[in-house]
Amino acid sequence: MPNPTSALYVRLPQPEADKLDRAAEALATNKKTLVTTLVSHYVDPDSQEGLDRLRDIASPSRRVTVDLPETGMTVGHHAFIPAELPDVLTPAQAAQLLQVPEDEIIALAEAGTLPAKRIGDHWRFARPALIAWLSEA
């Protein structure tokens, strides 16, 4: 096999996925070729300079180090990656996502305006359905 390939599955945030779709369409190519080209040009894990560039892109201003001048030692390292919201949300999480009070979320769900499912006494909301509903409004 002259060019072996490896499967890659990633979940991208919707705005970035849309950008990738638009770029592939504008360049009359497919996403596989576009991602392959970007990785070959911009990802260099074999050099310190390449890794530093990736760190700057992947986590700008999220790294804290303290240099101790007496010993030249570096102490401490912290990285913060926010947790993603689950696909199934509670009313409180849906309110946070839509940035409205929780009682408004429940009222809209009970009126059938907001896409939701009642499970016993509890309301649940599909995050993708809320985003789609919001983009239609």
* φ and ψ at residue 117, rounded to 5 degrees: -130, 140
**5-51 per-position pLDDT tens digit:** 888 788 888 888 889 889 889 889 888 888 888 888 888 888 888 88
Top pLDDT among 114 and 82 is at 114
What pLDDT does residue 77 have? 59
Per-residue pLDDT at 129: 94
Mean pLDDT across 75-99: 82
pLDDT at 126 exceeding the cut of 90: yes
What is d(CA 95, CA 24) in angstroms, rounded to the nearest whole number? 35
Per-residue confidence (pLDDT) for residue 106, from 0 to 100: 95
Q: What percent of the chain has pLDDT over 90?
A: 35
Contacts of 12 (CB under 8 A, 6+ apart): 20
How far is the CA of 104 from the CAs of 2, 5, 19, 87, 120, in angstroms? 59, 50, 33, 20, 20
More confident position, 78 or 8? 8
- CB atoms under 10 Å from CB of 43, counted, come to 13
88-103: per-residue pLDDT in tens? 999 999 999 999 999 9
- 117 has pLDDT over 80: yes
Task: Return the pLDDT at 12.
Answer: 83
